[in-house]
Amino acid sequence: MMKLYSGDLSPYSARVRMQIYAKGLTDKITLERPASFGTPKFREDNPIGRIPVLDIDGDLMPESEVIAEYLEEVYPTPSLLGANPRETAHIRTIARIGDIYLMNNLFMLAGQVYAPEKNQGVIDLLAGQVTRNLKALDKIIGKDGFACCGRLTMADCALVPALFLVENTLTAVTAAPSPIPTLPNVAAWWAAIRENEHAAKVLAELHRGLEERKELIRSGAFAKMMTAMRAAMAEAEKV
């Protein structure tokens, strides 16, 4: 049985988990947090040093998009891609907006939440990119409750954790209201997709992870954990 090394608050892991739930693969792929995460051992086994990682009988596959594409090839039914190459290209375009244009900027912006001294220039740059890319998404997202193609696809899987970060990371760093309500098509999709059982499950996991993170910060354990992870990273880079 394959394993997906994951974490509740990891948006990239959430993307793959939603795909696993939608495809009914929970009996074929177990979900767990790697015991070695944040240690030199994890870096040794996974040079990228991030989750998710798909463990296929000891063969470790990193990167959420790569994992997602692999799972579609190995388990093509039900398909979360298009009925034809053009539909698939559209799905992948929207997924890329979620994964790269939104989540990547938001992931970097999240570092400012925990920074001892916030860098306003970095915040303005990354927040501006997120807002700009949300406006682009509003022009191409579906208007029938799904990101495209009138059904759940990999585009929805990528956008759900991205919009979660918009509501929770962007607003936490900028102290500004979420821009989602100002974008009619994105707002309509966001309201509809949260009623989907697979999206709702992933969002519950993300919120659980967020509450756990807040408690770690309040207790001081998060600062200690980050110090240990930075030390592990420095140790791994010596090799």
pLDDT, one tens digit per residue, over 10-37 is 999 999 999 999 999 999 999 999 888 8
Average pLDDT, the chain: 93
Looking at residue 44, its pLDDT comes to 83
Contact criterion met (CB below 8 Å) for 80 and 22: yes
Q: Is the pLDDT of residue 224 over 80?
A: no
Helix axes of 85-96 and 154-165: crossing angle, nearest 10 degrees:
10
Kindly state the average pLDDT of the residues 36-64. 89
Q: What is the pLDDT of residues 126-181, one digit of tens each?
A: 999 999 999 999 999 999 999 999 999 999 999 999 999 999 999 999 999 999 99
What residue ranges define each of the domains in the chain, with the CATH number in brackets? 2-74 (3.40.30.10), 85-195 (1.20.1050.10)
Looking at residue 206, its pLDDT comes to 98
- Dist CA 133 CA 130 (whole Å): 5
- Dist CA 72 CA 95 (whole Å): 14
- Dist CA 28 CA 77 (whole Å): 14
The CB-based long-range contact list for 71-76 (8 Å cut-off, 24+ gap) reads 71/16, 71/19, 71/20, 71/23, 71/25, 72/19, 72/154, 75/23, 75/25, 75/28
Q: What is the pLDDT of residues 59-117, one digit of tens each?
A: 999 999 999 999 999 999 999 999 999 999 999 999 999 999 999 999 999 988 877 78
- Dist CA 111 CA 107 (whole Å): 7
